[in-house]
Amino acid sequence: MKSLGFRLIVALIVGITVVSTLSSWYGVQREKDELRLDLEHKAETFSEGLTGNAEPLLLNGDRDSMTRLVEQFGNRGQLLGLAIVDPNGAPVAVTRSIASYLRPAGAQLQAALHANKTISAYTRIRFRRVYLVVAPLHRADKSVAGAMMLVYDTGFIRAATLRVWGLALIHFGFQVLIIAGITVLIVRWSLMRPIARAARWMHALRLGGDETAPPMRDLDFLAPLANEVAPLIASVHEARAAAAAEARLRNAKEQIWTAQRLADNVKTKLAGSHLYVVSNREPYIHSRGPQGITVSVPASGLVTAIEPILCACNGTWVAHGSGSADRLTVDAHDRLPVPPQEPRYTLRRVWLTGEEEQGYYYGFANEGLWPLCHIAHTRPTFRAADWEQYMRVNEKFADALVEEIGDDAHPVVLIQDYHFALLPRLLKERLPHARVAIFWHIPWPNPESFDICPWQRELVEGLLGADLIGFHVQAHCNNFLDTVDRALEARVDWERFSVKRNDHWSAVRPIPISVDIPLDDHAVEDNRSEDYRRLLKQEWNFEASWLAVGVDRMDYTKGILERFLAVESLLDNHAQYVGEFTLIQIGAPTRSTIPRYAELQMELEREAERINVRFRRGNWRPILLVQEQQEHSQLLRFYRAAHVCLVTSLHDGMNLVAKEFVAARRDERGVLLLSRFTGAARELRDAILVNPYDTYSTGEAIAQALGMESAEMTDRMRRMRHWIKEHNIYWWASSLLSALCDLRIEPGVEAKPSQIEKLVP
Ligand code: F6P
């Protein structure tokens, strides 16, 4: 930094020197020109007057008068002296002080006499700078009778220019001092101090402290550097936290899964194989907006679960490119490295036409399979045209996967969800050596219900192409095996939970998905819950002493309407909560081009309004319906503020909101009210379980939750948190991968029972 300051100062001094020298030189020239002009003007006027006096004296040969004249005028101001000469240049009368100048000035005298005109010149005579004026003296006929020479001392001009140079030098000195001083201050305050602060900050972060970041204005010129350093530090922190957690866990002899442990496990399990994940929703969506291209991560537990696996083994994720700027961000092979900040794996995008998306996603997957698998009394719609698109898109994804896998000898493929029932078979037919699993994230209904699907055989046949088929709970595995039994010619092995079809075995396993729960979140004994409530009430401008929260996509399977009716029942039967209890319902808009979803949205708005109008008092209302997607970090505020979280799905594969709520309650408070028709109800036994169709009982369960003793609440929450810590998202990902990698998949050889059965609740 010192040498930077020194270099800056030297550069500035050189610059100032050049500028000052040029401007001083220009000033000196101007001063010199003005003084000379003035002198020349004076000399001209004076010589004109004097020649008029000298001419008659010369013509009369009056030497005495001429001598008096030259002595009288010869010593005025800068005039050093005068001389009068005859036509040959011989002196007639000369001021004594310049007598010796006549010979050196001979050339000018002769020039004026010969040319018969006034000659002037700046010259140097006897080491003196002088200005000579030689004016011819005339007879009456204008012929030359002689000349008069005036000699001026010009030393004063030089003295004046030296003075100007001197002043310029003094200015220059001051400028250098001031500028060097300012430079030193700027370097210290604006460069060295912010850099020193930033360095202290990074140092503290590196050592694991929590020093607050320097103000942004400090960092703005370091922004490019800061942008690189911030993720680096975040990674260091993550790595350190993971290592610390691992160490803690080792000490505690616990078997808790972390992202790091998952990554290590993945490497061991894959043993060099390449991993491919397929899902409809992509992990990073690029969109065009007023700020240019932005990237977002969809609110889905899947990204949290799958990403660490892919990062650990530099895998490939194949998904539908649905963002408006997705095509602008891929290479010629429709691939891009992700995560954008720190690429660790490849995202391969598959493009769908509007017609394909409509038929495959909105139509067959979400108007057909979704209501078919969720028994929630919305009639499935099966259209042959949608089925066509579903088949076409499954084939499109199979093509993309085959292209990505290329000649990979040991590919491991994890397919996600009901959008890709046909993909396992399509893939296995083309790449029999691939190890393939599909995880079905929604329920599997009983065989009678599934039977209404016109293409049930094709769907089951497609799924049985997989080596492993995963569901959240055992009941869905059982339903699936029953369906296989009914729909196809296949051998179902109930002991090993496997199906043999055409010499190929598929293992069927329950592996309940979960959430990420920070491990160092020990019980926090503070009043943060109260603080969160106060802030939310301010933000949404309502009054309430008791707060419940519901967080859902606005889907008819989530039992939101039933929840509203349960709130109405609570208020009808427990008057003490009128004016005191509010349910904040976060409803993220979803699949809104499907008529049933649009209807549901209107129905929910109408019902919330009806109940609000019925009970409203001043600034209090029983239901606050917030129809927007909230980031996970924003949702935490609602979870932490709530006395009770209402999860009243009519049917749900798992329901991660229930687990997210528990994971968010590091204060070990709050009550979870959970529909017994969710997969989560099989694990979270300490929730208050409800039948959402029974709105009276659900209302009573809310009253029970609000009245629960503090000790009981904490006991229940602690047990649920303990469960989730042991069965977190990394446990799920590792269980799924282990179950797949532990299978023997040679054709004709029976699959080994997986280790996973031990782990399943
Ligand atoms: O529950 C099944 C699921 O596919 C989840 O994985 C996902 O979060 C949700 O449904 C909504 O999915 P999408 O908005 O992609 O239709």
CATH number of the CATH domain containing 485: 3.40.50.2000
Q: Which two tokens stand for residue 528?
A: 């943060």
- Under a CB-based contact definition with an 8 Å cutoff, are residues 157 and 35 in contact? yes
Report the first-to-last Cα separation within the chain, whole angstroms: 62
Ligand 1 centre distance from Cα of residue 590 (Å): 9
How far does the centroid of ligand 1 lie from the alpha carbon of residue 279, in Å?
Answer: 10
How far apart are the C-alpha atoms of 136 and 142, rounded to whole Å? 10
- Backbone torsions φ then ψ of 625, nearest 5 degrees: -95, 115
Q: State how far the Cα of 85 lies from the Cα of 94, in Å rounded to an integer.
A: 8
What pLDDT is stored for residue 524 in this prediction? 58
Instruction: Take atom 6 of ligand 1 and give the residue whose Cα is closest.
Output: 441
* Ligand 1 atom nearest to CA at 300: 8
CA distance 586 to 624: 8
The Cα 518–Cα 520 span in angstroms is 6
Mean pLDDT rounded to a whole number for the chain: 90
Hey, is 294 helix, strand or coil? strand
Residues 534, 614 within the same domain: yes
Within 8 A by CB and 6+ apart from 266, the residues are 275, 308, 309, 312, 313, 734, 737
Q: Are residues 546 and 690 in the same domain?
A: yes
Does 20 reside within a domain? yes
Give the CA distances from residue 452 to residues 369, 386, 417, 590, 758, in Å, rounded to whole numbers and listed in that order. 11, 16, 20, 26, 35
Same domain assignment for residues 447 and 401: yes
Domain annotation covers residue 50: yes
**Is the separation of the CB atoms in 743 and 507 below 8 Å?**
yes
How many angstroms is it from 122 CA to the middle of ligand 1? 99
Q: Are residues 113 and 240 in the same domain?
A: no
Q: Which of 589, 593, 595, 564 is nearest to 702 (CA)?
A: 564
What single DSSP character describes residue 192? I
Domain closes at, from 141, 159, 177? 159
Domain count, the chain: 4
DSSP state of 578: T
Q: Ligand 1 centre from 591 Cα, in Å?
A: 10
User: Is residue 471 in a domain?
Assistant: yes
280 Cα nearest atom in ligand 1: 15
The per-residue pLDDT for 734 is: 93
* Contact present, 400 and 348 (Cβ < 8 Å): yes
- Beta-strand pair 144-153/79-85: antiparallel
> Closest Cα to residue 662, out of 539, 541, 516, 506?
516
Q: How far apart are CA 439 and CA 455, in angstroms?
A: 20
Q: Say whether both 244 and 332 belong to one domain.
A: no
- CB contact at 8 A, 604 and 567: no
Structural domain contains residue 230:
yes
Residue 276: which of 392, 406, 461, 419 has the closest Cα? 406
pTM higher than 0.75, yes or no?
Answer: no
589 and 700 in one domain? yes
Looking at ligand 1, which atom is closest to the CA of residue 418? 4
Q: What does the pLDDT read at residue 219?
A: 61
Q: How far is the CA of 549 from the centre of ligand 1 (A)?
A: 21
d(CA 516, ligand 1 centre) in Å? 18
**Same-domain check for residues 539 and 608:** yes
Relative orientation angle of helices 632-641 and 528-540, to the nearest 10 degrees? 110
Are residues 535 and 508 part of one domain? no
Question: Which residue, judged by its Cα, is nearest atom 12 of ligand 1?
Answer: 281
What pLDDT, on a 0 to 100 scale, did the predictor assign at position 379? 96
| Rounded-to-integer distance, Cα 275 and Cα 265, Å | 13
If you measure from the C-alpha of residue 369 to the centroid of ligand 1, how many angstroms do you get, rounded to a whole number?
A: 13
Question: Domain of 72: which CATH number?
Answer: 3.30.450.20
Q: Which of 415, 441, 659 has the most ligand 1 atoms within 8 A of CB, as the residue to mutate?
A: 441
What is the DSSP pairing of strand 504-510 with strand 623-626?
A: unpaired
d(CA 578, CA 572): 8
**Residue 6, CA distances (Å) to 10, 135, 172, 191 in order:** 6, 61, 19, 14
CB-facing half-sphere around the CA of 503: CA atoms within 13 A: 6
CA of 556 to the centre of ligand 1 (A): 13
Q: Is the peptide bond before 339 cis (omega within 30 degrees of 0)?
A: yes
| Among 364, 417, 439, 650, residue to substitute to test ligand 1 (most atoms within 8 Å of Cβ) | 417
Q: Which atom of ligand 1 is nearest to the CA of 553?
A: 11
Cα of 693 from ligand 1 centre, angstroms: 23
Residue 761 is assigned to a structural domain of this protein = no
Cβ contacts of 688-694, under 8 Å, gap ≥ 24: 690/648, 692/559, 692/562, 692/563, 692/566, 692/648, 692/649, 692/650, 693/562, 693/650
Ligand 1: distance of its center to the CA of 418 in Å?
A: 10
Q: Which of 307, 451, 309, 453 is nearest to 367 (CA)?
A: 453
pLDDT of residue 250: 59
Measured by CA distance, the residue closest to atom 13 of ligand 1 is: 281
Mark whether 599 and 687 lie in a shared domain.
Answer: yes
Atom of ligand 1 lying closest to residue 361 CA: 16
Ligand 1 nearest atom to the CA of residue 366, by list position: 16
Q: Whose CA is nearest to atom 3 of ligand 1?
A: 441
Between CA 416 and CA 739 the distance in angstroms is: 15
Residue nearest to atom 8 of ligand 1 (CA): 300
Domain boundary among 140, 159, 178: 159
Residue 560, C-beta contacts closer than 8 angstroms, at least 6 positions apart: 550, 552, 554, 585, 587, 600, 604, 648
Question: Ligand 1 centre and the CA of 157: distance in Å?
Answer: 94
Q: In what order do the strands lie in the sheet with 144-153?
A: 91-94, 79-85, 144-153, 128-138, 119-125
- Contact present, 66 and 57 (Cβ < 8 Å): yes
For ligand 1, the distance from its centroid to the CA atom of residue 567, given in whole angstroms, is 27
Query: To the nearest 10°, the Cα dihedral for 277, 278, 281, 283?
Result: 20
Closest C-alpha to ligand 1, atom 15 = 281
In a domain, 742, yes or no: no
Structure token pair of residue 485: 């039994």
CA nearest neighbour of 646 among 637, 655, 636: 655
DSSP per-residue codes, 116-155: TS-EEEEEEETTEEEEEEEEEEE-TTS-EEEEEEEEEE-H
Cα of 280 vs centre of ligand 1, distance in Å, is: 9
User: Is 665 within the bounds of a domain?
Assistant: yes
Name the residue with the closest Cα to ligand 1, atom 9: 300
Q: Which of 456, 481, 514 is the last residue of a domain?
A: 514
Residue type (1 letter), 541: N
Q: Which atom of ligand 1 is nearest to the CA of 653?
A: 1
| Ligand 1 centre distance from Cα of residue 381 (Å) | 19
Angle (nearest 5°) at CA 533 between 530 and 535 = 110
Cα–Cα dist 97/75, whole Å = 9
Pocket test of ligand 1: the residue of 277, 553, 592, 659 to mutate, having most ligand atoms within 8 Å of its CB, is 553
The continuous run of DSSP H or E covering 598 comes out as helix 595-615
Spatial separation of the C-alpha atoms in residues 399 and 421, rounded to whole Å: 15
**Closest C-alpha to ligand 1, atom 16:** 591
Other CB atoms within a 10 A radius of the CB of residue 499 amount to: 24
User: How far, CA to CA in Å, does 538 sit from each of 254, 544, 732?
Assistant: 42, 11, 39
CA-proximal residue: ligand 1, atom 7 (nearest): 300
- Indicate whether 9 and 138 sit together in one domain: yes
Q: Are residues 497 and 602 in the same domain?
A: no
Q: Are 317 and 347 in contact (CB under 8 A)?
A: yes
* Contact call for residues 605 and 633 (beta carbons, < 8 A): no
Q: Give residue 492's domain range.
A: 272-352+395-514
Q: 489 and 462, same structural domain?
A: yes
Mutate to test the pocket of ligand 1, among 279, 281, 417 (most ligand atoms within 8 A of CB): 281
**Cα 498 to middle of ligand 1, angstroms:** 27
Distance CA(68)–CA(59), nearest Å, equals: 16
Q: Which residues of the chain have pLDDT under 50?
A: 253, 748-761
User: Which position has the token pair 């996967």?
Assistant: 401
Establish if 236 belongs to a structural domain.
yes
> Which of the 8 DSSP states describes residue 187?
I
Ligand 1 contacts (CB < 6 A) are 280-281, 300, 302, 417, 441-442, 590, 653
Q: How far is the CA of 758 from the centre of ligand 1 (A)?
A: 28
Ligand 1 centre and the CA of 112: distance in Å? Answer: 111
Ramachandran sector of residue 193 (left: φ over 0; alpha: ψ -120 to 50; beta: rest): alpha
Mutate-to-test residue for ligand 1 from 300, 303, 357, highest number of ligand atoms within 8 A of CB: 300
Burial class (CB in 10 A: 0-12, 13-18, 19+), 711: exposed
Q: At 246, which amino acid appears?
A: E
